[in-house]
Amino acid sequence: MATTATACTLDNYLVLPDHTMDERIGAAREQLGRDVVILGHHYQRDEVIRFADITGDSYRLSQEAARAEGKYIVFCGVHFMAESADVLARPGQATLLPDLNAGCSMADMAEIGEVEDAWAQFVNLGLTSEEGQGITPITYMNSTAAIKAFCGERGGLVCTSSNANGAFKWGFSKNQKIFFLPDQHLGRNTGFGMNIPLDEMVVWDPYMLQGGLTADRLRKAKVILWKGHCSVHQRFLPEHVDKVRAKYPDIKVIVHPECRLEVCQKADAIGSTERLIKIVREAPAGSKFAIGTEIHLINRLAKSTPDKMVITLDDAGCLCTTMYRISPQHLCWALENLVEGNVVNQIKVREDVKHWAKVALDRMLEIQ
């Protein structure tokens, strides 16, 4: 598509100060009207999320992408979220990610070739058929479209932090074993919550021979967890919970299920970003919360609920650097280009991948 000198060079935007962006984003937004919907994940910074038409966790944003009208979906989140939006969007709609460098280190930990290789070994060991009679593959939303398609094609599905429990029940209704990708912590927390003993949940390490597991352990396992994690959430430790409780005995500790099992077990509640927000908002004035999740969400929640004490679970606070890549300058650049008819940073999932990824996402949208 043709580009114009006025709106198209990102470098011209990146040197501009944040405060100069507000008016321009607002004006572009107004000109685009109902042609555009801006979706914003809760980890986005204030200067960006204030322009979102809809904010939410991964589950809610995928529902919104599926029902979005208009020509353009501008996704203020990370790459796997925009990919899912493209899979769920209607034909003719374009999904844009304002900065293509906004990835997810956890999603990068499961590469499709490695996953196919692991599956081939399961088939060789007689644990499953190629098509998934024996093991239900389930992938966390935080994965590439290719991994989602892999699961869809083998009778599996996608889940998010808000419906992992339902996805596990669904998986076990089909087979006695689940292969869960790529977050070992969400998988372990979910399995543990369903009373699956820890020794029946094994970790598949793609860099070790046969995942680092004996055939016997694989045979006995109810859940095979991929060796992936979120570097933001894995930083929270059980001692952080002890420390904050010692300082504030009446504090409630609430954490995202991407945190380690030892942290989740010490917490008062576990939930998706949307659920964590709801718990704080609905609590009586004077309540105190220490939250184990990304720092932008925590700071915004603290500001918007001044009648409660809201702090991060560890003193440092964890930033998701890839979510942070979406700046007001990138958003302004994407919107002003749309005004001029240029679709920049479009996320396009390959058609063959799209088909099975949609099967896996649709299955997810049908369960709770």
Q: Which residues bind ligand SF4 (CB under 6 A)?
A: 78, 104-106, 142, 230, 232, 258, 294, 320, 322-323
Asked if 292 and 276 touch (Cβ cutoff 8 Å), the reply is no
Any bridge partners for residue 159, and if so which?
140
- The CB-of-85 to ligand 13P minimum distance in angstroms stands at 14
Burial of 92 (0-12, 13-18, 19+ CB in 10 A): exposed
Work out what residue 105 binds among ligand 13P, ligand SF4, none; the CB cut-off runs from 5 to 8 Å by kind: ligand SF4
Task: Identify what 163 binds: ligand 13P, ligand SF4, none; CB under 5 to 8 Å per kind.
Answer: none
345-348's contacts with Cβ under 8 Å and 24+ in sequence apart are 345/96, 345/97, 345/98, 345/99, 345/100, 346/94, 346/95, 346/96, 347/75, 347/79, 347/82, 347/83, 347/85, 347/86, 347/95, 347/96, 347/97, 348/86
Q: Which does 273 bind (CB under 5 to 8 A by kind): ligand 13P, ligand SF4, none?
A: ligand 13P
Is residue 60 a contact partner of residue 330, using CB atoms and an 8 Å limit? no
Given the complex with ligand 13P, which of 218 and 320 has the nearer CB atom?
320
Write down the least CB distance from residue 258 to ligand 13P, Å: 5
Based on CB atoms, which residue is closest to ligand 13P, 120 or 367?
A: 367
Residues 6+ apart with CB under 8 A from 279: 252, 254, 269, 271, 289
User: If contact means CB under 5 to 8 A according to the sort of partner, which of ligand 13P, ligand SF4, none does residue 161 touch?
Assistant: ligand 13P
Residue with Cβ nearer ligand SF4 (42 or 154): 42
Rounded to whole angstroms, the Cα distance separating 302 from 169 reads 35
Of 104 and 118, which CB lies nearer to ligand 13P in the complex structure? 104
Please, are residues 203 and 184 in contact by the beta-carbon 8 Å criterion?
A: yes
CB of 142 to ligand 13P, least distance (A): 5
Least separation in angstroms between residue 265's CB and ligand 13P is: 19
Q: How far is the CB of 40 from ligand SF4 (least distance, A)?
A: 13
Measured from the CB atom, the residue of 135 and 181 that comes closer to ligand SF4 is 181
Minimum separation from the CB atom of position 65 to ligand SF4 (A): 16
Q: Which is nearer to ligand SF4, 142 or 190 (CB)?
A: 142
Cβ-contact 325, 99 below 8 angstroms: yes
User: Residue 266 has what DSSP assignment?
Assistant: H
Spatial contact of 61 and 85, defined as CB atoms under 8 Å apart: yes
| Closest distance to ligand 13P from the beta carbon of 77 (Å) | 8
Phi, psi torsion values for 105, nearest 5 degrees: -65, -30
Task: Tell me how far, at minimum, the Cβ of 244 lies from ligand 13P, in Å.
Answer: 21
Partner that binds at residue 139, options ligand SF4, ligand 13P, none, CB closer than 5 to 8 Å by kind:
none
Residue 253 backbone dihedrals phi, psi, to 5 degrees = -100, 120
Q: Which does 264 bind (CB under 5 to 8 A by kind): ligand 13P, ligand SF4, none?
A: none
In the complex with ligand SF4, which residue's Cβ is closer, 163 or 175?
163
Residue by residue, DSSP assigns 26-72 as HHHHHHHGGGEEEEEETTS-HHHHTT-SEEE-HHHHHHHHHH--SSE
How far is residue 182's CA from residue 180's CA, in Å, rounded to a whole number? Answer: 6
Select from ligand SF4, ligand 13P, none the partner in contact with residue 322, using the beta carbon and a kind-dependent cut-off of 5 to 8 Å. Answer: ligand SF4
Q: Look at residue 357 and give the partner it binds from ligand SF4, ligand 13P, none, a contact being a CB closer than 5 to 8 Å depending on partner kind.
A: none
Q: Indicate if the alpha-carbon torsion angle 117, 118, 123, 125 is positive or negative.
A: positive
Binding residues (CB under 6 A) for ligand 13P: these are 42, 57-59, 142, 160-161, 230, 256, 258, 272-273
Beta carbon nearer to ligand 13P, 155 or 182? 182
Nearest distance from C-beta of residue 321 to ligand SF4, angstroms: 8
The interface partner of residue 45, options being ligand SF4, ligand 13P, none and the CB cut-off 5 to 8 Å by kind, is none
Please identify which residue in the block is written with the tokens 């994407």: 334
Other beta carbons within 10 angstroms of residue 275's beta carbon come to 17
